[in-house]
Amino acid sequence: MGPEDYVQMGALAAARAAGHGAEAAQRDRWREMLRRLGISLAGAALRLRDAWELPAASLALDTSITLSEALLGPAHATCMDAVVALV
């Protein structure tokens, strides 16, 4: 292998790393958006429950928590900590 081969391999590795960085950044943006959505849904459900004492609000809260767990995985705990702080 000549020096130009090493240069080309380095350029390919850098391009691959940049692509992975962009994918990770996009994933982080989606996670943040979903986290905020989960907090909004849970907050709305809690406000409904408190205002009208509807069983539907409990269902909405349960649905919000389930969606949050499914979509956020480990970030779900952070989301729920924020919801508990609202209550």
Query: How large is the average pLDDT for residues 60-78?
Result: 57
Does the pLDDT at position 81 exceed 70? Answer: no
Share of residues in the chain with pLDDT > 90 (%):
0
At 53 the pLDDT is 61
At 79 the pLDDT is 53
At 54 the pLDDT is 55
pTM over 0.75: no
C-beta of residue 14 within 8 angstroms of C-beta of residue 54: no
Rounded Cα distance, 11 and 39, in Å: 42
Sequence spans of domains, the chain: 3-86
